[in-house]
Amino acid sequence: MPLSLSSRRVRRACVLLTLALASACHSSTTTATTPAPASTRVVFFDDFNEATLDRASWTPRVSPPTYNDEQQAYVDDTATVRLVSGDRAAGATNGALEIRARARPGFVAPGGTRYDFISGRLDTRAHVGFTYGTASARMKLPAGAGLWPAFWVLGTGDWPATGEIDVMENVGDPSWISAAMHGPGYSGNTPLVRRDVFPPGQDATGWHVYSVDWTANTIVFHVDDREIYRVTRAMVERYGHWAFDNPKYLILNLALGGGYPQGVNGATTPYHGLPASTVQHIQSDSVSVLVDWVRVTQP
């Protein structure tokens, strides 16, 4: 299990665990950091409370490439990836990561490809890898058909051979999120997928903890304290090789349009999977994903 952590992340993880063990409180989806269980050790934690992104943990990615006919270019810029506090991070514990979608008609990405939108994607591939454990993130999502935020775990080798775990995906309908697994024989339009509808009075635009418990034989997805999907090795091996005994890393991103959203909303104009109403929403500079914290624990 390779693991590389910056010293301030180790200190922060220790502080979090100490507070969790010392406190008897149980946080809801709208309040402070959910404590790690006392029986686990925190191996990675970021609560985004610094002035700038910790690049010893996260690397923002730059397009190309893009996938799935998505309509955005990813850029490494505070226009799309930044840390916020105060009113912009309302409901977060100590500030938040903000991933923003921006309208940039005619934006030329490296290599010459043109896009009309930019957004953010960041991952821990160069810094933090882990095999088995619980990966969690407390997030607040935007609404709007074709907006495609995700929190996922990806293998370090060729896709799909080394496996992908989609802890949370949403395509702009705030009433539900989906969780999925991809690997050899069950990639793309995977049969291993579950859509979860929020309980009455809740939706994806509120703060929620999205998590996956990953072991050698079982992968279990949760939203807050609710189990929403359980996948066993036997279920996976009906379709192909179990690709979940190898190191993986964390990804956070906000995609725009593309195949999955288009399959849900049916939009083909003005952009594939991105209707005019959502384009106007992006143009108003009001589309962003907020991430309060990200954590990985192991037994």
pLDDT digits (tens, 9 = 90+) for 163-179: 999 999 999 999 999 99
Residue 25 has pLDDT above 60, yes or no: no
- The tokens describing 14, both together, are 């220790």
Q: Which of 153, 157, 160, 158 has its CA nearest to residue 130?
A: 153
Residue 69 domain-assigned (yes or no): yes
pLDDT (0 to 100) of residue 35: 79
Residue 2 domain-assigned (yes or no): no
Read out DSSP for 164-224?
EEEEEE--S-TTEEEEEEE-TTS-SS-S-EEEEEPPTT--TTS-EEEEEEE-SSEEEEEET
pLDDT digits (tens, 9 = 90+) for 226-243: 999 999 999 999 999 999
Residue 96 domain-assigned (yes or no): yes
SS3 of the chain: helix, strand, coil, percent, to 5? 15, 40, 50
Within the chain, residue ranges assigned H as helices are: 7-22, 233-236, 259-265, 276-283
Residue 75 has pLDDT above 80, yes or no: yes
Residue 24 has pLDDT above 90, yes or no: no
Q: Average pLDDT of 195-204? A: 98
Residue 227 domain-assigned (yes or no): yes
pLDDT (0 to 100) of residue 37: 76
Helix (H, G, I), strand (E, B) or coil at 166: strand
DSSP assignment, residue 65? P
Distance of CA 188 to the CA centre of its chain: 18
Residue 1 domain-assigned (yes or no): no
Cα–Cα distance measured from residue 138 to residue 43, given in angstroms and rounded to the nearest whole number: 17
Per the structure, the count of domains in the chain is 1
Residue 259 domain-assigned (yes or no): yes
For 195, the domain range is 7-298
CATH number, residue 184: 2.60.120.200
Residue 92 has pLDDT above 60, yes or no: yes
State the residue for tokens 């952590």: 5
pLDDT (0 to 100) of residue 114: 97
Q: What is the CA radius of gyration of the chain?
A: 18
pLDDT digits (tens, 9 = 90+) for 105-158: 999 999 999 999 999 999 999 999 999 999 999 999 999 999 999 999 999 999
Alpha-carbon separation of residue 29 from 20, 44, 136, 214 (angstroms): 16, 21, 13, 22
Tell me what percent of the residues of the chain surpass a pLDDT of 70: 89
Label residue 39 by pLDDT band (50, 70, 90): confident
First vs last Cα of the chain: how many Å apart?
13
